[in-house]
A = this chain, B = another copy of it.
Amino acid sequence: MALIMHTLHVDLGARSYPIYIGRDLLGDPALLARHLTGRQLVIVSNDRVAPLYLGRLRDALDPRVAVTEVILPDGEAHKTLESFEAIIDRALAEGHNRTTTFLALGGGVVGDLTGFAAACYQRGAAFLQVPTTLLAQVDSSVGGKTGVNHPLGKNMIGAFHQPAAVFIDLQVLQTLPEREFAAGLAEIIKYGLIREAGFYRWLEENLPALLAREEAVLAEAIERSCATKAAVVAEDEREGGVRAILNLGHTFGHAIETAQGYGSWLHGEAVAAGMVLALRLSADRGWVPAAEVDALVALLCRAGLPVLPPADMDAGRFLALMARDKKVVDGRLRLVLLRAIGHAVVVDDVDGQEIDALLSGAVAL
């Protein structure tokens, strides 16, 4: 029997949906059944997650539901149009009509791919998310961003498609490798930095309990993260304005991921190093005290996250890669900086020289 510890309602008018946070959600037949559209289900997972959790999920399904399982190879390298096509091919070959439901069982890669397949399947099918990494739980659960990578950049092909429900099962975090757990913490820390100073201080205090994966503390951190993201997204569903603050550390981070090849740095790791750069830039402008940079570095280090970009990436490399970023508007690089802890702003006046100074400083950090 599932224990629902928090239910968060993401309020998007006709596209509103619940996020359930708790234990054994995966094995609750009634909870799943309530959110199926028709009598068909396409479960997408990967070859690392499926052996751990697919059985429990399958056992919880009404036997009258026609289920197709698509198991992809694990990893960001497979977040491609080819994988998207593989999902669509299987769903069509097995006769799924547009009242079918797509369920993503996995991390961000599986979620983004499955959501995009659902968005495009016969011009839009229902989508459920069972995120199995901490990062996916606090990031892709809210916002409706779906998509795949392109050799020329991350998430360059995609759609906005809201899930019908998200099931965050805390038990799946117990088997998550340490490095991936830390990558999720990076995004959680981000929510504190951009908008919730109190939450940020709470995280500094409660990091040991989080690292020990105590369920109640995890549930609270996830709930506050999702709520923060939901509040930002509700103000700006299609990313025209305030939503951009969610990209703190991401423009630098995407450049790192692209330069190193998808999958060599985890997304959360690249964001961690990117957030340090953004905070240093903010400190260089006198917006936050230099001591806050040190405090963030200390927090990320305790969480086991990188605080420096790869040694081989100089300002020129960053600038060239960032120029291709989606955040570039009519040739001007847009970056998220902090006016204070808990108060992010978007700027478009950072020039090459400032990045140059920042990165020569970063190496000396």
Name A's B-contacting residues (CB within 8 A).
38-39, 81, 85, 88-89, 92-93, 95, 97-99, 119-124, 145, 147, 150, 152-153, 155-160, 238-239, 323-324, 326, 328-330
Contacts and interface: CB of A to CB of B under 8 A. Distances in A.
B326 A98 contact: yes
A329 B122 CA distance: 13
A156 B88 contact: yes
B330 A88 contact: no
B324 A95 contact: yes
A39 B88 contact: no
A123 B155 contact: yes
Main secondary structure of the interface of A (DSSP, over half): mixed
Given A88-B156, A120-B157, A124-B160, A99 B38 contact: no
A32 to B, nearest CB: 18
A329 B99 contact: yes
A156 B122 CA distance: 5
A93 to B, nearest CB: 7
A159 B84 CA distance: 14
Given A81-B85, A120-B158, A156-B122, A97 B150 contact: no
Nearest to A88: B157
Contacts of A147: 120, 123
Given A92-B152, A152-B93, A330 B39 contact: yes
A118 to B, nearest CB: 11
User: What is the count of identical protomers in the complex?
Assistant: 2
Contacts of A155: 122-123
A88 to B, nearest CB: 6
Given A88-B150, A150-B88, A159-B119, A124 B329 contact: no
B159 A124 contact: yes
Contacts of A152: 89, 92-93
> What are the 5 tightest A-B residue pairs by CB atom distance, in nearest-first order?
A92-B152, A123-B158, A122-B326, A120-B157, A97-B328
Contacts of A85: 81
A121 B148 CA distance: 11
A9 B110 CA distance: 40
A181 B152 CA distance: 41
A352 B302 CA distance: 68
Given A89-B152, A123-B158, A123-B159, 11 more contacts: A38-B329, A38-B330, A81-B81, A88-B157, A89-B150, A97-B329, A98-B326, A120-B157, A121-B157, A123-B145, A123-B239
B120 A159 contact: yes
A122 B156 CA distance: 5
Contacts of A119: 159
A85 B156 CA distance: 11
A122 B145 CA distance: 10
Nearest to A239: B123
Contacts of A122: 155-158, 326
Contacts of A93: 152
Contacts of A326: 97-98, 122-123
Given A326-B97, A330-B38, A92 B156 contact: yes
A323 B97 CA distance: 9
A124 B323 CA distance: 19
A332 to B, nearest CB: 10
Contacts of A150: 88-89, 92
